[in-house]
Structure 1
């Protein structure tokens, strides 16, 4: 997941970076935590402990466009969050939504897991409202539904 150079104009493609926790620069970590707080705490009005201790075990996927963090997900090897590999804390900046960046992020997250740990099944805990979104990437509802931080979720699995 090296840097993918994009045009510097209005249509510039995001530059994707996949980093271990210890490789994040201080300003990158700050931007990640700031954007996660903006999306999950402020926008979704969800009070929860975002810094859950799992960040050190994750590979962090950052999508930077126009010099600003626009998309993010953290990826885990099998056995950390689920028996299968997984990703979570998936988000795009509000001003960047609606143009396909979320789909690009999921494609990059799947590729990152395959690149780092090899092709394999991926299990996620998805917000119920995003079932169709993830289904477009091969994820299927496993039938496990639950409430997390007041938001309906379900487990979804993408076969390997």
Structure 2
């Protein structure tokens, strides 16, 4: 399966790309996970958007935030893969690409994430280590993790 990967700042996203990104995030985080929260939080305006497309549809996405937006460190958030594409390992490829982006832009800086607890091993396999106790975010257990 051919995935076309793109990295763009907010100002360079087309209306269709932005629409599909928000649609994917809402479909998964709000509808599938049954969480009500403000999806449009103004952080997108300062983010770099990494997304994978298959047949003109956004199927994987991560939001890359500079330091000082969500954390003092760089961060990766809103990591999501369309339900129909989860069996292809796109989550791991997406995270490898997100980590590589920050490694090229700021090689000495740490990357901090807020990961769902059930994905702890997934993130540990990518080099992140747990740095917080479990906490609830939108009634879902999360942990803060850092990759140095």
Same fold (TM over 0.5): yes
Q: Is structure 2 residue 44 aligned with structure 1 residue 55? A: yes
Name the TM-score, length of structure 2 as normaliser.
Answer: 0.95
**Is there any run of 5+ residues in structure 2 with no aligned partner, and where?**
none
- After the TM superposition, which of the residue ranges 110-119 and 26-35 deviates more from structure 2? 110-119
CA RMSD of aligned residues (A): 1.1
For residues 59 and 86 of structure 1, the distance between their equivalents in structure 2, rounded to whole angstroms, comes to 11
> What's the offset of the Cα at 1:85?
0.6
> What's the offset of the Cα at 1:119?
4.2
Q: Which residue of 2 aligns with 1:114?
A: 103
* Correspondence for 1:45 among 14, 34, 40: 34
Q: Which residue of 2 aligns with 1:93?
A: 82
> What's the offset of the Cα at 1:115?
2.6
Q: Is structure 2 residue 140 aligned with structure 1 residue 151? A: yes
* Correspondence for 2:94 among 85, 98, 105: 105
For residues 69 and 15 of structure 2, the distance between their equivalents in structure 1, rounded to whole angstroms, comes to 24
> What's the offset of the Cα at 1:144?
3.5
More helix by percentage: 2
Q: Which residue of 2 aligns with 1:137?
A: 126
* Correspondence for 1:81 among 65, 70, 86: 70
> Are 1:72 and 1:105, in contact at CA under 8 Å, matched by a contact in 2?
yes
For residues 15 and 101 of structure 2, the distance between their equivalents in structure 1, rounded to whole angstroms, comes to 22
**Is there any run of 5+ residues in structure 1 with no aligned partner, and where?**
1-10
**DSSP 3-state at the match of 2:105:** helix
> What's the offset of the Cα at 1:111?
1.0
- In the TM superposition, structure 1's runs of 4+ consecutive aligned residues that sit over 4 Å from their partners are none
Name the TM-score, length of structure 1 as normaliser.
Answer: 0.88
Q: Which residue of 2 aligns with 1:20?
A: 9
For residues 18 and 28 of structure 1, the distance between their equivalents in structure 2, rounded to whole angstroms, comes to 11
* Correspondence for 1:30 among 5, 19, 22: 19
> What's the offset of the Cα at 1:65?
1.7
